[in-house]
Amino acid sequence: MMDPLYRFLPWDHVSLGQRLRQAREATMGLLLVAPPDSEVSRIARKTVAAMDRLRSEMDCHLQVTRPLWRDPRRMTRHIYGGLTHISGCLTNEEEREKDDLAGWELEE
């Protein structure tokens, strides 16, 4: 049986990567205000650890399923990791044929 994650398109990975980073950031904000010995803090720490494991797993999946030559700008390393924001941009058919992430760009 084929792994259903192989149906994930680059768009899906970018979307999920951004949402996971946003969720992690929000949870870290909660950790800043929650008393360190509280149940909320304990759950938040476990949540951050679980999100980091998920991001790592999805990053590995992305690296395995996307050939390096289909990412000439080397954007895959920014999808699940780092603090870089990725936004949509205009592209044409020719660019999409060469680059799986042609519709995305890194924001500075």
78, 84 contact by CB (below 8 A)? yes
Q: What is the pLDDT of residue 49?
A: 97
> What residue segments make up the domains of the chain, in order of their start?
8-107
- pLDDT > 70? residue 2: no
The Cα–Cα gap between 79 and 62 comes to 9
> To the nearest whole number, what is the mean pLDDT of the chain?
90
Closest CA to 60 of 8, 1, 22: 8
**pTM of the predicted protein model:** 0.84
Is residue 1 very low, low, confident or very high in pLDDT (cuts 50, 70, 90)?
Answer: low
- pLDDT > 70? residue 61: yes
- pLDDT > 80? residue 3: no
The token pair at 57 is 């797993």
